Structure 1
Amino acid sequence: MSLLTLGLGSLFVFLAAIVRGYSGFGFSLLVITSLSLLMPPQTFIPAVFMLEIAASLHLLPGIWKDIHWRSLAPLIIGCIIGTPLGVWLLANVPAPPMQIALAIFVLVVTLLMGRGFVLKAMPGTAASGGVGIASGLFNGAFGIGGPPVILFYFASPAGNVAGRASLIAFFLMTDLIGLAFMSREALIGWNSVTLALIFLPALVIGIWVGARSFKNADPQVFRKWVLVLLAGLAVLSGVQGIAAYW
């Protein structure tokens, strides 16, 4: 890769890392959408998983006490079930139809939440497991498993702080699972490790900037910002899927 490509890639990683440090999510979709303008997805998606793991480890000490542990177990179990199918789809099936379906689902639910829809109680084990399966499917297929779980937490009574902390812990676990399955499918090589190391400084600096901004965030403003960001990411994913047919 040329120095220009790596420089632009580092800039994209830095900007996406600011979003990740602030909200706890959004990094994968922003990076995958932007880096796909520079290189084939198979070249960098494993590296994005490695960067996601590094981002979660960087944030983990500061959010450990706020994690909603009870809700994580069924989500993780569901994700373990859904991830192998998603990885198989990544290796064998075009992603655009799934991207479009995910975008429509996220936009509809985001609109409902923007109009005031919230869950009165945390969902049960079966419903939580279903959300985890959907997340694992999308995460394994094209590295974007966040939207179902983001909606799960921000529509629940968990609260902004616990929701953000739980998302960070969830992404750490699921990215480790996804990386393991990618390794089994021979999708990871030294090029992926090298690319992740090149982008790592931009990630660390961006995460630090975003996390500092979250400390002073108003809860209501944060919730609205999350919904706007989620809708924007859904539109990006949908446009990317539709563009593949042109």
Structure 2
Amino acid sequence: MTLAAALTVLAGALVGGFVSGLAGFGLGLVALGFWLHAVTPAEATALVAFCSVLAQAQTLPAIWHAVEWRRVGPMLLAGLVGVPLGALLLTRLDMEVFRLGTGLFLIAFSGFLLLVRSQPAIHWGGTAANAAVGFVGGVMGGLAGLSGPAPTAWATLRGWSKHERRGVFQPFNLGILAAVALWNLLSGAATAELALLSAVALPGTFLGALAGAAAYRRLSDRRFHEVVLVLLAFSGVTLVWAAF
């Protein structure tokens, strides 16, 4: 690995870690923009999973008090069932169509909620709805590393506070991404080159997540709501871009 590649990986880890510490998800959304210029797509995808687990685990204690396992438990269990299904679908689905459809939905969803004055809130849906959302997130996580959009959108529609939202989608994402990272290890994705890339990226991820968590504490519920929607919109744009 050249010095330029190492600096690119480190920069992506710092920025991605900051976004993850700030919003509770989204490391891959920004880090891939750096990493795909320096490493192969397969290495970048595996690196996203490993670094995301570190960033999520690092900032989880700060919002642990907001975790309600009656919400998260069914969602996470269903998501873990969905991960291997998503991995199996990887070779059977038209990924361009999947990216385009998912991206357009995220753009429309986040754009609408950013423009409306009053925040709509869904008050129906209990354990079954949480599990269904978790299953979709797990499938999307195994398919494309996109475990975050489904639970994040659901938590946003429920009208919860910033702590309540992160208390749902952060432990969910941590569990799903850990499963994806384990899947990568068992499938032989762990190579000497990936270990070297991780050694470069993980310190940057740690420092970035630390700074992002400090910024999160200064956000009001409304500002956090806006940050989440902007990141979802950005995720949609990148997916649409990748579909062409």
2:166 corresponds to which of 161, 164, 184: 164
**Residue 110 of structure 1 corresponds to which residue in structure 2?**
110
**Residue 10 of structure 1 corresponds to which residue in structure 2?**
10
Give the direction of change, closer, same or farther, for the CA distance of 1:90–1:236 in structure 2 (3 Å limit). same
Rounded to whole Å, the distance in 1 between the matches of 2:34 and 2:101 is 20
**Residue 190 of structure 2 corresponds to which residue in structure 1?**
188
Rounded to whole Å, the distance in 1 between the matches of 2:124 and 2:216 is 24
**Residue 235 of structure 2 corresponds to which residue in structure 1?**
233
Rounded to whole Å, the distance in 2 between the matches of 1:68 and 1:193 is 35
The alpha carbon displacement at 1:93 in A equals: 5.5
Contact 1:83 1:137 in 2 (8 A): yes
2:217 corresponds to which of 209, 215, 218: 215
Runs of 4+ in 1 over 4 A off after TM superposition: 91-94
Rounded to whole Å, the distance in 2 between the matches of 1:18 and 1:143 is 19
Gaps of 5+ in 1: none
Rounded to whole Å, the distance in 2 between the matches of 1:33 and 1:90 is 22
Rounded to whole Å, the distance in 2 between the matches of 1:40 and 1:142 is 15
Rounded to whole Å, the distance in 2 between the matches of 1:145 and 1:34 is 20
Rounded to whole Å, the distance in 2 between the matches of 1:180 and 1:200 is 17
Rounded to whole Å, the distance in 1 between the matches of 2:112 and 2:74 is 24
Match of 1:236, as an amino acid? T
Contact 1:48 1:196 in 2 (8 A): no
TM-score by length of 1: 0.89
Give the direction of change, closer, same or farther, for the CA distance of 1:42–1:217 in structure 2 (3 Å limit). same
The alpha carbon displacement at 1:151 in A equals: 0.5
- Per mean C-alpha deviation after superposition, the further-off stretch among 13-22 and 96-105 is 96-105
**Residue 34 of structure 1 corresponds to which residue in structure 2?**
34
**Residue 98 of structure 1 corresponds to which residue in structure 2?**
98
Give the direction of change, closer, same or farther, for the CA distance of 1:106–1:213 in structure 2 (3 Å limit). same
1:132 corresponds to which of 131, 134, 137: 134
Rounded to whole Å, the distance in 2 between the matches of 1:33 and 1:121 is 37
**Residue 74 of structure 2 corresponds to which residue in structure 1?**
74
Contact 1:87 1:140 in 2 (8 A): yes
- Per mean C-alpha deviation after superposition, the further-off stretch among 161-170 and 209-218 is 161-170
Match of 2:45, as an amino acid? I
> Helix, strand or coil for the counterpart of 1:158?
coil
| 1:210-239 deviation digits (Å, cap 9, x = unpaired) | 111111112212212221221122101211
Rounded to whole Å, the distance in 1 between the matches of 2:233 and 2:178 is 26
Gaps of 5+ in 2: none
TM-score by length of 2: 0.90
Rounded to whole Å, the distance in 2 between the matches of 1:99 and 1:188 is 26
**Residue 45 of structure 1 corresponds to which residue in structure 2?**
45
The alpha carbon displacement at 1:92 in A equals: 6.3
Contact 1:53 1:176 in 2 (8 A): yes
Rounded to whole Å, the distance in 1 between the matches of 2:73 and 2:53 is 19
| 1:134-186 deviation digits (Å, cap 9, x = unpaired) | 21122112212111111011211431112123222111111121122233333
Aligned length: 242
The alpha carbon displacement at 1:72 in A equals: 0.9
Between the aligned residues of both structures, percent identity stands at 22
